[in-house]
């Protein structure tokens, strides 16, 4: 049986997690199809067709899918799912919003946030903020899965030559509509896919200091910027900077944690980073237990020094 991956995209380009979900699907085996739902999203479908391993792209182009409203998208996925053994999506805000709705329409369980594929019906997923890994086996005919991007190296975005097939679309449910959207445009790399991340916590003091101290370092490194929950709650930075159990899960090559104590919930989001650097004035801070390199001292002195030394 074939496997279906739901693409996340901005109508033109695929979002990073999509190629990781495709990589997970490749491990399951079977012919790989990608569903692109959106409005005027042919370019995204063409991008999906080029991803290595993809055999066919299903293009559902209708205004009902413009804002990814799950009330409109889930019924389409549900109808298509009958032809597939597995339906996968990245465990992003988009995927987490949509997939459980699909699973319930299909009367199947969802396997959330998988980090490994053991076999066609058995997967590994973190529980308790990543303090335990559970191996779970699904008894359902169709497996509905969200994929944690850090568990799978992204499939190559070129090399494929899949066909793109337009499919019948479904109507607007009339139950929901988008009123507005505030998406912060940034020239920095996306947090979830960045190779380097500079992350600040409550120790930054306030938003102005967060920016004044950390932006020059991030600029030098070409890094994305992240934060702890405390920094977000205090309004230093927007909510989507939050790294952790209930924010973004990241695993860059380099993660620099500045003025972050290292609560379990924060570690859950970054402890798979390749190299972790911690800067904190408290030598007992838990962050040092996961840091490859720790530097004890005042961040307001250390970070500018570090920026200058690079």
Residues 11-70 that bind other proteins (CB under 8 A): 15, 67, 69-70
**Token pair of 233 as six digits:** 């709650």
Q: Which residue has the tokens 């205004």?
A: 63
Neighbours of 75 (CB within 10 A): 17
* Residue 102 is a binding residue for other proteins (CB under 8 A): yes
Instruction: Compute CA 246 distance to the chain's CA centroid, rounded to the nearest angstrom.
Output: 12
Pairing verdict, β 84-90 and 143-147? parallel
Count of residues in contact with ligand FAD, rule CB under 6 A: 27
Pseudo-torsion of CA 289, 189, 32, 44, nearest 10°?
A: 160
**What is the enclosing helix (H) or strand (E) of 72?**
helix 70-81
- Indicate which single residue of 1, 31, 40, 137 sits in contact with other proteins (rule: CB under 8 A): 137
Give φ, ψ of 102 to 5 degrees.
-65, -50
Provide the mask over 191-230, with x wherever binding to ligand FAD is found by CB under 6 A and - wherever it is not.
Answer: ----------xxx------------------------xxx
Of the candidates 278, 297, 273, the one whose C-alpha atom is nearest the C-alpha of residue 288 is 278
d(CA 122, CA 107): 18
Q: Which of other proteins, ligand FAD, none binds 184 (CB below 5-8 Å, type-dependent)?
A: other proteins
Per rule CB under 8 A, is residue 253 in the interface with other proteins? yes
Contact yes or no for 295/257 (Cβ under 8 A): no
Q: Judged by CB, which is closer to other proteins: 165, or 275? A: 275
Instruction: Give the x/- contact pattern for other proteins in 262-291, rule: CB under 8 A.
Output: --xx-----x--xxxxx----x----xxxx
To other proteins, the closest distance from the beta carbon of 156 in angstroms equals 23
Nearer to other proteins, 36 or 49 (CB): 36
Q: Which 3-state string (H, E, C) describes 4-55?
A: EEECCECCCCECHHHHHHHHHHHHHCCCEEEEEEECCCHHHHHHHHCCCCCC
Task: In whole angstroms, give the CA distance from residue 210 to residue 66.
Answer: 35
Mark 268-307 with x for binding to ligand FAD (rule: CB under 6 A) and - for no binding.
-x----------xxx--x------------xxx-------
Which of residues 57 and 299 has its CB atom nearest to ligand FAD in the complex? 299
Q: How far is the CB of 213 from ligand FAD (least distance, A)?
A: 10
Task: Return residues touching ligand FAD (CB under 6 A).
Answer: 201-203, 228-231, 242-247, 259-261, 263, 265-266, 269, 280-282, 285, 298-300
């Amino acid at each position: 049986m074939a496997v279906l991956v739901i693409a996340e995209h901005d109508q033109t380009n695929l979002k990073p997690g999509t190629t990781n979900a495709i990589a997970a699907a490749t491990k399951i085996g079977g012919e790989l199809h990608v569903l692109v739902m959106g409005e005027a999203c042919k370019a995204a479908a063409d991008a999906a067709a080029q991803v290595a391993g993809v055999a066919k792209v299903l293009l559902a182009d209708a205004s009902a899918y413009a804002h990814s409203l799950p009330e409109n998208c889930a019924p389409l996925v549900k109808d298509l799912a009958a032809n597939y053994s597995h339906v996968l999506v990245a465990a992003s805000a988009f995927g987490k919003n949509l997939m459980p709705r699909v699973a319930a329409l299909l009367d199947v369980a969802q396997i959330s946030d998988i980090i490994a594929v053991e076999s066609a019906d058995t997967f590994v997923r973190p529980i308790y903020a990543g303090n335990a890994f559970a191996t779970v086996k699904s008894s359902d005919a169709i497996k509905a899965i969200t994929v944690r991007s850090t568990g799978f190296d992204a499939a190559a975005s070129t090399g494929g030559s899949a066909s793109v097939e337009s499919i019948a679309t479904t109507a607007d449910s009339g139950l929901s509509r988008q009123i507005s959207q505030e998406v912060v445009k940034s020239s920095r790399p996306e947090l979830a896919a960045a190779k380097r991340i500079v992350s600040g916590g409550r120790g930054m003091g306030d938003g102005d200091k967060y920016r004044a101290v950390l932006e020059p370092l991030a600029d030098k490194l070409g890094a994305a910027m992240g934060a702890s929950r405390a920094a977000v709650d205090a309004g230093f930075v927007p909510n989507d900077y939050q790294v952790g159990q209930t924010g973004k899960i990241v695993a860059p090559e380099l993660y620099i944690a500045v003025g972050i104590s290292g609560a379990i919930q924060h570690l859950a989001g970054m402890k798979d980073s390749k190299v972790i650097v911690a800067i904190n004035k408290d030598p007992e801070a838990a962050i040092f237990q996961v840091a490859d390199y720790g530097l004890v001292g005042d961040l307001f002195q250390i970070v500018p020094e570090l920026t200058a030394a690079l």
